[in-house]
Amino acid sequence: MNLFSWGMYPKIKSNVFSLRDTESLCAYAEKTEEFIPYGNGRSYGDSALADNIVYTKPYNNFLAFDAQEGILECQAGVLLSEILDTLVKRGWFLKVTPGTKLITIGGAIASDVHGKNHHTEGCFSECIEEMTLMLPDGEIKSCKKGDALFHATCGGMGLTGVILSAKISLKKINSKHINQTTIKTKNLKETFEAFEKYKDMPYSVAWIDCLAKDEEIGKCLLMVGDFANDGDLEYKSKKKLTIPFTFPSFALNNLSVKAFNWLYYAKAPNGISKQKVDIDTFFYPLDAIGDWNKIYGSGGFTQYQFILPKESSFDGLKEILGKISASGKGSFLAVLKLYGKANDNYLSFPMEGYSLALDFKIETGLFELLDALDEVVVRHGGRIYLTKDVRVSRETFEQGYPLIETFRTFRKENNMDKKLQSLQSKRVCI
């Protein structure tokens, strides 16, 4: 069938095998030359694209829940949203969640996703007590933190096996609300100072205005927050708006310009303002708009996300924001965040420093611009996020991930490198 990921680029033809039980998966793995697992298709680029894919979403049963410890065991196709639908009202939330709840548990592990609390809680792998995979030779194996298989699989982009199930440790909450503080800054220096000032807040993220020029480069709205304590756990997932057709891209920029300006000038008139918002508004604002990826038109888009070590973040970001602003490409809004320390996983993206993410419509000249940005990222010791990527070169990728050889060797030694391949893994030769 026709297959693509969230960026709708590239679009390819794939043979799909739906995961329903381990017996048929074992037979499939034996007879299929090459394949890659595919969850809910929310990675942006070609990480989960290949001629043959194992569609894991139908494999989605809850297996056990320990209500004392807050540990859920479930199959890999369960969506984060299903966990929230079931457990928020009982006072549990994900320890780590990315900006969409529409991803599978398997995808969250394979991308070792992170969220607004990376600086305090780390990546998704932090909450995995144990997980089970099927290796490409059909063997079913469990692993936990400390095992090489665990550190290769978390962030391993599905290249170590098909994740079958996991035990996830959850966070106790006493409200579906978040007390949010919004801070307005005038330039990159003020933005960095604000991140440092509020680094003890569990959740933080900033929207950067990418059109700002000269002195105003790096002007942002920083949003920080923590769960309220009002005992109100009546969580109900919001109804989605849907976008029934693809948009011309100026529409998006106009919308986001309006949203940003409204917030910037109206909501935080004195520099700082406070709001009480719910889980969906705070963590998953874009999930409220069904297929927002269609907004970039049928040619698709990509998200460019990189991270720079803290010491070079200021200079690097200034240079990159300057280049983006001068190019006239890119979304008006970008997401900036200060991350905590890196973990021991071979290919996890986060490191201590600042990460910036922004969307680009796929068009002529774009990849040349991104290559030029790559050069700045590499020069400052940074790296690119594979989960968002569709075009990075092998050289750029390798320079950003010092443990790549460990990962390659692990794959070879365990006979994973032949069977498990995606378009992305072939491009960057993982």
Partner 1 sequence: MSYVLIIGAKSDIAKEVARIYAKNGYNLYLAARESASLEELKQDIALRSGVEVVLKEFDITAYETHESFYSSLEEKPLGAIVISGYMTEQKEAQKEWNKTLETINVNYTGAVSILNIIANDFEKERRGFIVGVSSVAGDRGRKANYIYGSAKAAFSAYLSGLRNRLYESGVQVLTVKPGFVHTKMTEHLDLPPKLTASPSEVAEDIFNAQQKGRNVLYTKPIWMVIMLIIKHIPEFLFKKMSI
Alpha carbon 194 to chain centroid, angstroms: 24
Distance (Å, whole) CA 173 – CA 70: 11
Choose which of 30, 61, 230, 241 interacts with partner 1 (CB under 8 A). Answer: 61
Task: Please state the closest distance from residue 295 (CB atom) to partner 1, in A.
Answer: 17
In terms of CB distance, is 85 or 352 closer to partner 1? 85
In terms of CB distance, is 5 or 414 closer to partner 1? 5
In terms of CB distance, is 66 or 215 closer to partner 1? 66
Residues 86-115 binding partner 1 (CB under 8 A) are 86
In terms of CB distance, is 18 or 281 closer to partner 1? 18
Structure tokens at 5: 């990921």
Is position 1 an interface residue for partner 1 (rule: CB under 8 A)?
Answer: yes
Is position 247 an interface residue for partner 1 (rule: CB under 8 A)?
Answer: no
Taking alpha carbons only, the member of 357, 350, 420 closest to residue 38 is 420
Q: What is the DSSP letter of 270?
A: T
Query: Among 79-87, 198-206, 369-377, 397-405, which window interacts with partner 1 (CB under 8 A)?
Result: 79-87
Q: Are strands 52-55 and 15-18 parallel, antiparallel or unpaired?
A: parallel
User: How many residues interact with partner 1 (rule CB under 8 A)?
Assistant: 14
Alpha helices (H) in 198-309, listed in sequence order: 250-261, 279-283
Residues 255-314 binding partner 1 (CB under 8 A) are none
Alpha helices (H) in 88-208, listed in sequence order: 105-110, 118-121, 148-153, 188-197
Is position 253 an interface residue for partner 1 (rule: CB under 8 A)?
Answer: no
Taking alpha carbons only, the member of 175, 129, 179 closest to residue 150 is 129
* Residue 58: strand, helix, or coil: coil
Is position 6 an interface residue for partner 1 (rule: CB under 8 A)?
Answer: no
Within 8 A by CB and 6+ apart from 77, the residues are 19, 39, 56, 57, 58, 59, 60, 104, 105, 106
Query: Among 80-88, 180-188, 274-282, 370-378, which window interacts with partner 1 (CB under 8 A)?
Result: 80-88
Query: Among 43-51, 55-63, 254-262, 270-278, which window interacts with partner 1 (CB under 8 A)?
Result: 55-63
Distance (Å, whole) CA 397 – CA 278: 37
Query: Among 58-66, 137-145, 170-178, 376-384, which window interacts with partner 1 (CB under 8 A)?
Result: 58-66
Choose which of 34, 51, 52, 62 interacts with partner 1 (CB under 8 A). Answer: 62
Is position 246 an interface residue for partner 1 (rule: CB under 8 A)?
Answer: no
Is position 42 an interface residue for partner 1 (rule: CB under 8 A)?
Answer: no
Is position 65 an interface residue for partner 1 (rule: CB under 8 A)?
Answer: yes
Is position 20 an interface residue for partner 1 (rule: CB under 8 A)?
Answer: yes
Distance (Å, whole) CA 358 – CA 249: 14
Choose which of 64, 272, 286, 326 interacts with partner 1 (CB under 8 A). Answer: 64
Residues comprising the chain, all counted: 430
Structure tokens at 165: 């199930």
What 66-70 contacts at long range (C-beta under 8 Å, 24+ apart), as own/partner pairs, is: 69/169, 70/169, 70/170, 70/171, 70/172
In terms of CB distance, is 86 or 181 closer to partner 1? 86
Query: Among 15-23, 145-153, 252-260, 400-408, which window interacts with partner 1 (CB under 8 A)?
Result: 15-23
Task: Please state the closest distance from residue 175 (CB atom) to partner 1, in A.
Answer: 22
Task: Please state the closest distance from residue 369 (CB atom) to partner 1, in A.
Answer: 31
Is position 58 an interface residue for partner 1 (rule: CB under 8 A)?
Answer: yes
* Sign, CA torsion 128/130/132/133: positive
> What are the φ and ψ backbone dihedral angles of 165, each rounded to 5 degrees?
-155, 165
Is position 18 an interface residue for partner 1 (rule: CB under 8 A)?
Answer: yes
Is position 2 an interface residue for partner 1 (rule: CB under 8 A)?
Answer: yes
Cβ atoms < 10 Å from Cβ of 94? 25
Cβ atoms < 10 Å from Cβ of 18? 15
Distance (Å, whole) CA 89 – CA 306: 36
Task: Please state the closest distance from residue 65 (CB atom) to partner 1, in A.
Answer: 5
User: What is the contact surface with partner 1 in residues (CB under 8 A)?
Assistant: 1-2, 16, 18, 20, 58, 61-65, 82, 85-86
